[in-house]
Structure 1
Amino acid sequence: MAGYPKKDKNGTYYFVLEAGKDATGNRKRIKRRGFKKISEAKAAMAELMVELKKGNLMKEEKMSLGIYLDYWMENYVKTNLKPKTSAEYEKIIKKYLQPSLGHIMLNELKSTQLQNYYKEKLEVLSAQSVTHHHRVLSKALNDAIDWEFISKNVAKGAKPPRPIKREMNTHTGEQINLLLKTAREKTPVFYPIIFAVAHTGMRKSELIGLTWNNVDLKTEKIYIRQTITEANGKYFFNPIPKSEKPRGVKLTAELSKLLQILKEDHENRKNILGDSFNPHNLVFCNSKGNIMAPSEISRALKRALKAASLPDIRFHDLRHSHATILLKANVHPKIVSARLGHSKIQVTMDTYSHLTDSIEAIAVDQLDKLLQ
């Protein structure tokens, strides 16, 4: 959907605003041409928005939800939110909200139309995704009230689906060992990162963003100073806030050995291929030295699980497996919490509350041995 100045064949700028549909159901568009500079086109488009808001144009040319969402993206999202969040919002707006709801006039949007949208999208998306659409739209409509485009946020009257909490599936130590053995044979490129999550409990974004300058093989410790995330087909480097202390994770002896081998391999490849290989100095990269796509990592894990005839789990469940193995071994929850990077130990206790009975049983066994 247009709504941003573009350059035409003559070198001048123009813009087109979608203004909903006319009485016959045809789309109504407002087009303005002949601007020498993009800044002039932007200014004219902003003025037109104001006129639409005041109702000084023909009724057929009043603002559609699609026009407004373009305006909101340019005037709030891209200037106030982080690039990754902005990319996620843009994907939701361009791929879902505008195609389904963009033709509706902003001041004629009804809660029931949103309710129907949620029902429709639940057929192809998860409840959590649809709820996220609701939050984005609700925020956009709240801002529309602040800018005096509308007087009521109809999203408040709609009821988004309640997200279903994903069940935690974990593997035992024996299953993890079988998985790692199989991954080494079936998916060698992704084997190191699968090995690393099992031995550290780190998040996928933390592992993808780990660089060699944050690996200390002498002290056998790694430090999380950034993450790499993907949104709308783009990668984003997210450094931790300067006010936060980087989290350190102690390496197991086996992981330390693997990283040493991996480091030597990267150095050899860089000597042969030059700086074009692994330009971001990543610990875990694909065969070309580029960022590992989160979806590729997940697919590699599924291949290894299938080959090993193990129950299917998510990559994040390997993090849960790491924590579960430690807690069942009677490792203090504070240590587990620190390895996982939880803000508080209570987060760890709440997340793994289902282990309380088994942990307590271990404690009672110890008491039986110590007390008479």
Structure 2
Amino acid sequence: MAGYPKKDIKNGTYYFVLEAGKNPNGTRKRLKRTGFKTLREAKAEMAELTLAIKNGDFLRENKMSLSQYLDYWLDNYARTNTKPKTFAEYEKMVKNHLKLSLGGIMLHELRSIHLQSYYKDKLKVLSAQTITHHHRLLSKALNDAVDWEFLIKNPAKGAKPPKPVKMEMNTLNVEQLNMLLATARERTPIYYPVIFAAAHTGMRKSELMGLTWKNVNFKAQRFYIRQTITEANGTYFFNQIPKNEKPRGVKLTAELAKLVLHLKNEHDDRKNALGEAFNEHDLVFCNSKGNIMAPSEITRALKRALRAAHLPDIRFHDLRHSHATILLQENVHPKIVSARLGHSKIQVTMDTYSHITDSIEGIAVDYLNDLLK
């Protein structure tokens, strides 16, 4: 079982060869491990593998590439243990990125340095947050490879993905928001209602897409969020909230209540004219054919309205941030804002909008200056 790490003069990495008994035909079984960045890493791996062979814990070589293993993992774990949308996202990540860059490496030869190089290369075209998602998938998949005895240890543990950069929050003030809504009404009438509703409720795009007429209470003037609609790989997923969870209710502004009532009357007229096939999912916000509004189309409609109004470029999600920011600036209690946004805890709201709550504290101090002598 003698051996010692050596340096590969071609690429500067280290490798070692160990003897691990004999093959079924009587020839000596030799194990080669390559791709170590430092001599120290090679020695550590060699010591661990040597001990595994001595203790009889060595996992016999498999001829499975990482590409083949990821397919196996998707089929044997992810397909039955994750939500359909999550599985679709995993499948897309594996197909479009991981298999193309790392798939040709044999599973037992995969090293932390391979993953580290992958993260570095991908950072040229993907965000640090996206690469972190790739790292999490690899970590889980390779942990399962250890549990299933394909690997002795998980090489993802030694790889460090880039630290995600917190996305800057861009918001519109009251004047800008009103200008946007007036422009959207004129330039993109089909998508105007969903943009209007986002500004007036702070609801997420997926929540607005999934809102159905049976979850609109005109008497109480509330939306009740019982499902979301999300998209992955061109497929739409209807995500129901658990039955034991209370649906979030969002109080409507007077103007939004008027708009929704107008939409309902218009919807009923078209339903009567076109039949039950129109808007089969009973959606409040649907396209002109009664189908689900594509997330990309909603975003494009928003961008058109922003450009036409000569306003700063923002994401659809920033309408939610704008809604919350305006309320906090008007001294609405953060608990109320948190409830409207559907945050699990008020601390989430406080942390997300800390730049606003800091300025609100300044207003509070000004009050105290006037009251206390």
RMSD over aligned Cα, in angstroms?
Answer: 1.4
The one-character-per-residue Cα deviations of 1:204-246 (angstroms, maximum 9, x if unpaired) are: 1111100000001111111011111111221111111112111
- The answer to whether residue 323 in structure 2 is matched with residue 322 in structure 1 is yes
Native 8 Å contact 1:199 1:322 kept in 2:
yes
User: Aligned AA for 2:201?
Assistant: T
TM-score when normalising by structure 1:
0.82
Instruction: Note if 1:154 corresponds to 2:155.
Output: yes
In structure 1, how many angstroms separate the alpha carbons of the residues matched to 2:350 and 2:111?
A: 43
Q: 1:207 matched to which residue of 2? A: 208
TM-score under structure 2 normalisation?
A: 0.82
Please give the alpha-carbon distance, in whole angstroms, between the structure 2 residues aligned to 1:221 and 1:356: 27
In the aligned structure 2, how far is the partner of 1:97 from the partner of 1:307? 40
Contact 2:328 2:357 in 1 (8 A): no
- Distance in 2 of aligned mates of 1:333 and 1:237: 30
Distance 1:221 1:231 in 2: 29
Count, aligned residues: 315
2:260 corresponds in structure 1 to 259
Question: For 1:279, what is the secondary structure of its paired residue?
Answer: coil
Q: What is the rounded CA distance, in whole Å, between the counterparts of 1:74 and 1:185 in structure 2?
A: 48
Gaps of 5+ in 1: 1-52, 56-60
1:267 to 1:369, Cα distance in 2 relative to 1, 3 A: farther
1:176 lines up with 2:177 in the alignment: yes
Q: Which runs of 5+ in 2 are unaligned?
A: 1-58
- The residue aligned with 1:86 is 87
**Match in the other structure for 1:33:** none
Tell me the residue number matched to 2:112.
111
| Distance in 2 (alpha carbons) for counterparts of 1:147 and 1:339 | 45
Contact 2:223 / 2:250 at 8 angstroms: preserved in 1?
yes
Take 1:356 and 1:92, find their aligned partners in 2: how far apart are those partners?
A: 38
Deviations along 1:32-77, one digit per CA (max 9) or x if unpaired, are xxxxxxxxxxxxxxxxxxxxx854xxxxx81111111111111000
Question: What's the CA shift for 1:334?
Answer: 0.7
Q: Which residue of 2 aligns with 1:305?
A: 306
Aligned-partner Cα distance in 1 for 2:371–2:329? 20
Q: What letter is aligned with 2:132?
A: T
Secondary structure of 1:164 counterpart: coil
SS at match of 1:133: helix
1:71 equivalent in structure 2: 72
> What's the % identity of the aligned pairs?
74
Structure 1 distance, partners of 2:372, 2:254, is 36
Provide the residue aligned with 1:127 in structure 2.
128
- For each residue in 1:274-304, what CA deviation from the matched residue of structure 2 results, as whole angstroms up to 9, or x when unmatched? 1221110001111111111111111111111
Indicate the structure (1 or 2) with the bigger Cα radius of gyration: 2
**Contact 2:184–2:302 (Cα < 8 Å) also in 1:** yes
Question: 1:370: how far off?
Answer: 5.1
Runs of 4+ in 1 over 2 A off after TM superposition: 360-372
Contact preservation (8 Å) 2:205, 2:295: yes
Cα drift, residue 364 of structure 1: 3.7
Is contact 1:330-1:362 (8 Å) kept? no
